[in-house]
Amino acid sequence: MAASSLHELSIEQASAQIAERRLSPAEYLQAFRARAARLEPKLHAFTRPLWDEAEQSARRAEAEIVRSGPRSVLHGIPIGLKDIFDLANHPTTCHSKILLENVAKDDAASTAKLRAAGAVFPGKLATHEFAFGGPAFDLPFPPARNPWDLTRHPGGSSSGSGAAVAANMLPAALGSDTGGSVRHPAFACGGIVGMKPTYGLVSRRGVFPLAFSLDHVGSLTRTVTDNALLLNVLAGHDPLDPASADRPAEDFTRDLEGGLKGLRIGFVRHFHEVDMVASPDVAASLNAAAEVFAREGAIVRDVKLPSAIELAAANRIVLLSEAASVHEHWLRDRPGDYSHMTRQRMIPGLLLSATDYIQAQRRRKQLVDEISAVLREVDVLLVASSLDQPCRIDDEPELTRTHGRQMRAPFNLSGHPALGIMCGLSSDKMPLGLQLVGAPFSESLLYRAARAYERATHWHTLRPPLDELAPA
Amino acid sequence: MATIAPADILAARFARLAQDYPEEIAQAKIVADKMRSDVTRPSQGSAEPALIYRFFK
């Protein structure tokens, strides 16, 4: 393969070539670095590029692999970190003025697992401020752009992770997901896969919190297989994360080629047809996806969950209350150091009472039980992700209007695993996506369903038209 | 006894925020009220609060 196209290799492909010593980790990294040199000035996906350091790590990996073989499939593979994940000896800024000097002493638990597996870290990636604000221009770093249309936002809050992976500047990146922040860029940046695993499956230690009982660590990759490979490394019990689940290790790639025959899929149509109405393009893409699943052998039927509006509101009350507890002192002493969008979104949390929070947590239990009951009748839920294509990045009224028009937050509230994949193109050539949701710890089943959809469709092969947007 | 509005409590505890961003606080009150009204409050004694840390362990 020509050096100029090595960035197109998936982790699965690159790893195989590295193991056979047909590809060096340094060459693979260089391909991404060259691409980033061309695209990053337009995309702003990085808050802190670390290519030189990554190159040294890649060369060390190469020497070790020559000497004793690869440690894992991630040995020598570059992986980006949303800038709320600690990377030892580098600042974790959360894309905020408030934490510009916040140098991490240690790696986050997930960073440490990747490092132990041999991954290299080419940089920290843009996020909405504190994984919560919107794409803002009054912050120390510019907001990441959508590689499909540089005038639009890339989804968030894992905005840099989505933009970098979709633009082939990295093969994978970590993100966090408290109300949909991994799955949103998976929708908006298209052609990529975003997994929010079951609550507790991946440690959050060393990741700056947004809302303790809703925060998940997830990943963005270009293929379903790569995502499963990453989760194989990331999953596992961490006694220092109070939410961490103590479960035996599993191979999330084991069922990838299992197909859809006989799989029971519940289509949560009322979310986007009744509770909130999706754009015609989004609705059509979901109907088409349901037909693909049925054609490939799944048994697809409509199912009913609690109202998306109530699920989203309960998520919001819990999120804002918990976030306010994290930010209380800065909101009191340094309110002007936040982006105005972050501040505006945070303040309602200060107006909620302890009673509001507890009532939402009581209702939460009922809502989770209702979702779990449906997931005893079907194996997988087919659910909308965003209801609209991403708008212009500087159109604040439209950003505000569409902020809550998404169907991802219910599964932060419930903790169920949810996987975002591409399922179409809008009439204005922007990517569209869907979610697959399963019972707790059914990630391998979600990967199996998504992989079958990947085989049956061509959406995952589409790439943003970057040669037109950012010519060489 | 007079009722103290949440925004007044906020103003007392977050003086700089209240002084510098009164419009944002007014907007936030609308948002908070809407969230409250969108969530059913469980009937008395009918539901323990979620302890999500224990959900899936």
- Whether residue B2 is predicted with pLDDT greater than 70 in this model: the reply is no
Q: Residue A49: its pLDDT value, please?
A: 98
Does B18 reach chain A within 8 Å, measured CB to CB? no
The residue in chain B having the minimum alpha-carbon distance to the alpha carbon of residue A311 is: B39
Q: Residue B48: its pLDDT value, please?
A: 77
Contacts of B35 in chain A (CB under 8 A): 313, 316-317, 320, 348, 352, 356
Helix (DSSP H) and strand (DSSP E) numbers for chain A: 16, 11
Q: Residue A218: its pLDDT value, please?
A: 98
CA A200 to chain centroid: 16
| Whole-angstrom distance, CA of residue A327 vs CA of residue A350 | 10
- Whether residue B7 is predicted with pLDDT greater than 80 in this model: the reply is no
Contacts of A311 in chain B (CB under 8 A): none
Which residue has tokens 């936040």? A338
Q: Residue A90: its pLDDT value, please?
A: 98
Does B27 reach chain A within 8 Å, measured CB to CB? yes
**pLDDT-based confidence at B5, cuts 50/70/90?**
low
% of chain B exceeding 90 in pLDDT: 12
Q: Residue B9: its pLDDT value, please?
A: 73
- Whether residue A178 is predicted with pLDDT greater than 50 in this model: the reply is yes
Kindly report the number of other CB atoms within 10 A of residue A277's CB atom.
Answer: 12
Contacts of A239 in chain B (CB under 8 A): none
Does B34 reach chain A within 8 Å, measured CB to CB? yes
Long-range contacts of A234-238 (CB under 8 A, 24+ apart): A234/A110, A234/A113, A234/A114, A234/A197, A234/A202, A235/A197, A235/A201, A235/A202, A236/A113, A236/A202, A236/A203, A238/A109, A238/A203, A238/A205
Does B11 reach chain A within 8 Å, measured CB to CB? no
Four-residue CA torsion sign, A80, A85, A89, A92: positive
- Whether residue B57 is predicted with pLDDT greater than 60 in this model: the reply is no
Does B8 reach chain A within 8 Å, measured CB to CB? no
Q: Please judge whether A200 and B25 are an interchain contact, meaning their C-beta atoms are less than 8 angstroms apart.
A: no
Q: How many residues does chain A have?
A: 472
**pLDDT-based confidence at B53, cuts 50/70/90?**
low
- Whether residue A212 is predicted with pLDDT greater than 60 in this model: the reply is yes
Q: Residue B4: its pLDDT value, please?
A: 58
- Whether residue B55 is predicted with pLDDT greater than 70 in this model: the reply is no
Smallest Cβ–Cβ distance between B50 and the set A316, A353, A364 belongs to A364
Q: Residue A301: its pLDDT value, please?
A: 98
Q: Residue A387: its pLDDT value, please?
A: 98
Secondary structure class of A233 (helix, strand, coil): helix
HSE on the CB side for A94, CA within 13 Å?
A: 22
**Residue-by-residue DSSP string for A98-139:** GGTT-B-SS--HHHHHHHHHT-B--EEE--SGGGTS-S-SSS
What integer is the mean pLDDT of A297-325?
96
- Whether residue A462 is predicted with pLDDT greater than 60 in this model: the reply is yes
- Whether residue B3 is predicted with pLDDT greater than 60 in this model: the reply is no
Residues facing A463 on adjacent strands: none
Q: Is A307 left (phi over 0), alpha (psi -120 to 50) or beta?
A: beta
**pLDDT-based confidence at A298, cuts 50/70/90?**
very high
Q: Please judge whether B16 and A335 are an interchain contact, meaning their C-beta atoms are less than 8 angstroms apart.
A: yes
For the stretch A364-415, pLDDT in tens is 999 999 999 999 999 999 999 999 999 999 999 999 999 999 999 999 999 9
Which residue has tokens 């606080």? B25
Q: Residue B15: its pLDDT value, please?
A: 87
Residue closest to A220 by CA, chosen among A197, A193, A246:
A193
What integer is the mean pLDDT of A167-176?
98
| Whole-angstrom distance, CA of residue B9 vs CA of residue A455 | 57
The residue in chain A having the minimum alpha-carbon distance to the alpha carbon of residue B6 is: A351
Q: Residue B1: its pLDDT value, please?
A: 45
What integer is the mean pLDDT of A257-265?
97
Residue closest to A414 by CA, chosen among A118, A198, A183:
A198
Q: Residue A472: its pLDDT value, please?
A: 63
Single-letter amino acid, residue A324:
A
Residue closest to A187 by CA, chosen among A450, A395, A408, A385:
A385
Q: Please judge whether A362 and B24 are an interchain contact, meaning their C-beta atoms are less than 8 angstroms apart.
A: no
Task: Report, in this order, helix, strand and coil percent for chain B, each rounded to 5.
Answer: 60, 0, 40
Q: Please judge whether B49 and A362 are an interchain contact, meaning their C-beta atoms are less than 8 angstroms apart.
A: yes
Measure B2 CA to nearest chain A CA, in Å.
18
Residues facing A314 on adjacent strands: none
Q: How many residues does chain B have?
A: 57
Smallest Cβ–Cβ distance between A200 and the set B17, B29, B56 belongs to B56
A157 cis-preceded (ω within 30 degrees of 0): yes
Query: Is ipTM > 0.85 here?
Result: no
| Whole-angstrom distance, CA of residue A122 vs CA of residue A53 | 7
| Whole-angstrom distance, CA of residue B13 vs CA of residue A447 | 48
- Whether residue A258 is predicted with pLDDT greater than 80 in this model: the reply is yes
Q: Please judge whether B49 and A365 are an interchain contact, meaning their C-beta atoms are less than 8 angstroms apart.
A: yes
Q: Does B44 or A185 have the greater pLDDT score?
A: A185
Q: Which two tokens stand for residue A112?
A: 């440490």
Q: Would you state the torsion angle of the CA atoms of residues A37, A39, A42, A45, taken in this order, to the nearest 10 degrees?
A: -90
**pLDDT-based confidence at A248, cuts 50/70/90?**
very high
For the stretch A427-448, pLDDT in tens is 999 999 999 999 999 999 999 9
| Rg from Cα positions in chain B | 17
Q: Does A149 or B52 have the greater pLDDT score?
A: A149
Q: Please judge whether A363 and B39 are an interchain contact, meaning their C-beta atoms are less than 8 angstroms apart.
A: yes
Q: Residue B41: its pLDDT value, please?
A: 85
Q: Please judge whether A343 and B24 are an interchain contact, meaning their C-beta atoms are less than 8 angstroms apart.
A: yes
**pLDDT-based confidence at B54, cuts 50/70/90?**
low
Does B26 reach chain A within 8 Å, measured CB to CB? no
Picking from A191-200, A217-226, A383-392, A462-471, which range would have the lowest pLDDT averaged per residue? A462-471
